Structure 1
Amino acid sequence: MQKKKSSIGWRNENKHPSLSEVFSSVSVPKQKGIWKKLFAFTGPGLLIAVGYMDPGNWATDIAGGAKFGYMLLSVIFISNFFAIILQHLALKIGIVCERDLAQACRDHYSPFVSFILWILCEIAIAACDLAEIIGSVLALKLLFDIPITWGVLITAIDVLIILFFQYKGFRYIESVVAALIFTILVCFSFEIISSKPEIFPILKGIVPNPEIMKNSHSFYISIGILGATVMPHNLYLHSSIIQTRNYPRTIEGKKMAIKYATIDSTLSLSLAFFINAAILIISAATFHKAGHTEVADIMDAHKLLTPILGSSLAGVFFALALLASGQNSTLTGTLAGQIVMEGFLNIKLKPWIRRLITRLIAIVPAMIASMIYGEKGTTELLIISQIILSVQLSFAVIPLVNFTGDSEKMGPFVNGPILKISAWTITIIIVLLNLFLLYNTLLGY
């Protein structure tokens, strides 16, 4: 027998806070100082931005820049706009409803539907973890010439590092992520300066070009960039970690929290845009300019950077950025896994057990592929992981947009007409493009 919906629009009352060990643990100053409040809310956005610069996004950016120069910069720009809207909705549901997206699904849908959504989400997180492992393994290979198989095993050690910072406090995790993002930023700044891109073509590339739609190959790569834009686990993650802030749980307090959290999210995603754009710009300024238009692989890109730019540091900084990207994604993937399991199933596991389960699911296929196929096998797995993430995306975006547009659930914070139309339009576009990408990939196009 189904339980009757509560007065706030949910099937069940939410009894357990998301990430209870760090819930409301970061203090927010009560005085009206704008900068102090903004600093207090700075952090969750950086953790979210990590998902938009993970190793899984590199291949499409490299391929797009090598094949079409700066033309696809507009696609990255539009993708980033989509991300800003959807992440705003994710933080909004966490603040207003005091539920993460997983808890919201559990408290809205039937147990059977919630279980299916949980299974799909776990598969997606394992796929995302697989991409992180591959990125770190390739980086270790490039930096230290460590064999792929040994690299897979070494990545398992990061479990201990993550656990250490989890117990130190949530601000420590945010600080580590910020430091790794800064490392990526420095590395790509060096690469951009070394590649000497042309400013006018870059500005022209940000403006959408009709040629993108006319050329089947550019359209396909554009779909790949758009399809990999919003990571489904990021929506669950953001709706949870925003609740680590100790803001007043009142109407005014929630308005204030949404305001500053949105600023944090938007600025952080703008940084992610710069890094994604930087990968495409470097690829365009080096490979496309030199006639290497078929480069679409991380390993090939690394091999060509040093001779083209004439600097031995070019390859080193590229690999270092890849390693930082992989490790950063590992941190956020761990938290997302914990949030999803606790939210959907309403059970708690010790972090080291949860992390070990997720890591083993990802390590086994990575190890088998590396032993049988070597570097090529890991690249294929990277592509497969992105397809899985694309399939799962619809099952995260649709509930999010539906919940935040429900006045019974959101009260005075319900999406306005313009935001509601924008959110559903973005959802339809992402769903259709992901289905198209999946269809063409399965057919081998």
Structure 2
Amino acid sequence: MSQDYSMLGSRFGWRQQGGAASLAEVNGSVAIAAGWPLWRKMVAFVGPGYLVAVGYMDPGNWATSLSAGARFGYSLLAVTLLSSLMGILLQALCLRLGIATGRDLAQSCRDAFPRFLSLPLWLAAELAICATDLAELIGTAIGLKLLFGLPLEIGVVLTALDVLLILALQRLGFRYVEAFVIALLLVIAGCFLAQIALARPDWQALVAGFVPTSSIITDPTQLYLALGIIGATVMPHNLFLHSAIVQTRAYGKSDDNKREAIKLASLDSSLALFFAFFVNAAILVLAAAAFNASGRVDVAELDQAHALLSPLLGAAIAPALFAVALLCCGLNSTVTATLAGQVVMEGFLNLRLAPWLRRLITRLIAIVPAIIVTFLYGERGTGQLLIFSQVVLSLQLPFAVIPLVLFTADRSKMG
């Protein structure tokens, strides 16, 4: 590996700056024996893709897809599909980088670029995580309010407890974190299957929605929502996270081991992101069938959508399913965003702190602005704020995508 870095020196100034692997406490913690049958290895690799998929269906996605479906029906399903395909490709590059080099994307940026360039990239990554966390904290707080009647301000503060949840699960093993996330994802999928059945969408219009139209670009409102869908789907923090958590597998260091690990991790990632695409499309379809079809094109707030579901679908259980799915999405997303914040901080700054302190700092970076915004806006305007946070994420994408493509396209780096 040191030879690879020296070969890059004349091209990108690549130098390995040392430091332990990201998430060192769980790195290589999931055992994979060389003699295992293929099916058992496939099962061992199930997990990281689903942690990443969580970011593709967070509360920011909800607000954006609800607004898109309510205002424009099924027409922005094409953007959801295209952004999901783009996400599958980018996440495949991330896991390749992590497995081939043993360095995550943040560490690779610190290795390759001078400090005056890597620090702005770190700030851009932190801004993206703050925008992500803002959406997730507010979404979780709304879920708590809808289910239990808690004020938004108290709900935002309670989301800080996810730090304790992550620590407790990781003490048991990283597989417990993955099992927790996958269990909540199954609950979310079940809730939306039930709601779609109640909504009875127009299947012909739904299929037609996957064909892109010129109005997506020519209509400023559609374009704004399309940018929000892209930012909500392909999240910058997921690129950093995936390149780190794929290294929790003890896949071996030979070239053959790495090639096999890349194939199995790619299968896990692709299946998980197709699952995320189903959930994202279901949110938009639900909004199109329930709100656009009944002329309620102004629905943009999550609590507003919750209140309207029962009279429009004619089932008292529909709002409860919506609230449960929202809360599960928010809990899942705050867990993975906290892990991503740890990866970014460790990778760019090589800053090693106690696990509980690292996660507390990462959470505070997001929870402070979330509390301020919640006190200022209250229940009004939270939907628009969620959509705006996703547009910010779409504008942050190049700062993560360009280095990722640069690194994974180089043979001397990737081997």
TM interval, short-chain normalised: over 0.9
Give 2:6's aligned residue. 6
- Residues 251-289 of structure 1, C-alpha deviation per residue, up to 9 Å, x if partnerless? 111110110111100000000000000001111111011
Give 1:426's aligned residue. none
1:2-401 aligned at under 5 Å gives the runs 6-7=6-7, 10-12=14-16, 14-31=18-35, 33-376=37-380, 378-401=382-405
Distance 2:65 2:383 in 1: 15
Letter in 1 for 2:242: H
Distance 1:380 1:272 in 2: 23
Distance 2:181 2:387 in 1: 25
In the TM superposition, structure 1's runs of 4+ consecutive aligned residues that sit over 4 Å from their partners are: none
- Residues 92-113 of structure 1, C-alpha deviation per residue, up to 9 Å, x if partnerless? 0001111000110011011222
Letter in 2 for 1:303: A
C-alpha contact (below 8 Å) 1:149/1:371 kept by paired residues:
yes
Q: Which runs of 5+ in 2 are unaligned?
A: none
C-alpha contact (below 8 Å) 2:50/2:178 kept by paired residues:
yes
Distance 2:387 2:200 in 1: 30
Distance 1:7 1:238 in 2: 26
- Identity between Structure 1 and Structure 2 (%): 53
Q: CA deviation at 1:15?
A: 4.6
Given the superposition, is the C-alpha separation of residues 193 and 130 from structure 1 closer, same or farther in structure 2, using an over 3 Å criterion? same
TM-score by length of 1: 0.88
Distance 1:275 1:339 in 2: 26
Q: CA deviation at 1:227?
A: 3.2
Q: CA deviation at 1:129?
A: 1.5
Distance 2:263 2:146 in 1: 42
Q: CA deviation at 1:122?
A: 1.9
Given the superposition, is the C-alpha separation of residues 136 and 293 from structure 1 closer, same or farther in structure 2, using an over 3 Å criterion? same
Distance 2:382 2:93 in 1: 34
TM-score by length of 2: 0.94
- Residues 14-65 of structure 1, C-alpha deviation per residue, up to 9 Å, x if partnerless? 4522221111111124236232111111100000000000011112211111
Aligned residues: 408
Look up the SS of the partner of 2:407 in the other structure: helix
The answer to which of 5-14 and 267-276 deviates more is 5-14
C-alpha contact (below 8 Å) 1:232/1:389 kept by paired residues:
yes
C-alpha contact (below 8 Å) 1:60/1:224 kept by paired residues:
yes
Q: Which runs of 5+ in 1 are unaligned?
A: 412-445
Letter in 1 for 2:186: F
The answer to which of 25-34 and 185-194 deviates more is 25-34
Distance 1:364 1:380 in 2: 19
C-alpha contact (below 8 Å) 2:301/2:384 kept by paired residues:
no
Distance 1:241 1:278 in 2: 28
Look up the SS of the partner of 2:233 in the other structure: coil
Distance 2:199 2:237 in 1: 34
Look up the SS of the partner of 2:7 in the other structure: coil
Letter in 2 for 1:247: Y
Distance 2:36 2:323 in 1: 44
Distance 1:252 1:191 in 2: 46
Distance 2:390 2:318 in 1: 27
C-alpha contact (below 8 Å) 2:342/2:362 kept by paired residues:
no
